[in-house]
Amino acid sequence: MKPITEGLGSLFADLERRARASIELTTKVRQALPGEEKEHVLSASYRDDTLLVSVDSAAWASRLHYAQQELLERLRAAGETQFTKIRIKVGPGTP
């Protein structure tokens, strides 16, 4: 019998690369946020030209909506230019 993972090497490598990129982006988003907001960011990722930010509650989603422009400016200043808009959602992760 062949091992289950045989032939999946590139798939696992791609999954690991995407997970690492999401973790790094989440860290950048947290660092760019002022105050308590950063503690409530669960994850961040890209979908096309949109930065998707997932937070832990509706209250923090509202606070992040107010801080969107500042977040966009700080991320751009940090060299993060892949997005043109930000979408904030409540949930355990991004779609």
Task: Identify the CATH number of the domain defined by range 10-90.
Answer: 3.30.300
Reported as a single tens digit per residue, the pLDDT across 38-78 is: 999 999 999 999 999 999 999 999 999 998 999 999 999 99
Reported as a single tens digit per residue, the pLDDT across 4-29 is: 556 666 777 788 888 899 999 999 99
Could you tell me which of 16, 65, 19, 17 has the C-alpha nearest to residue 40?
A: 65
pTM recorded for the entire structure? 0.81
> Sheet holding 85-90: strands in order across?
41-47, 50-55, 85-90
Domain boundaries, the chain: 10-90
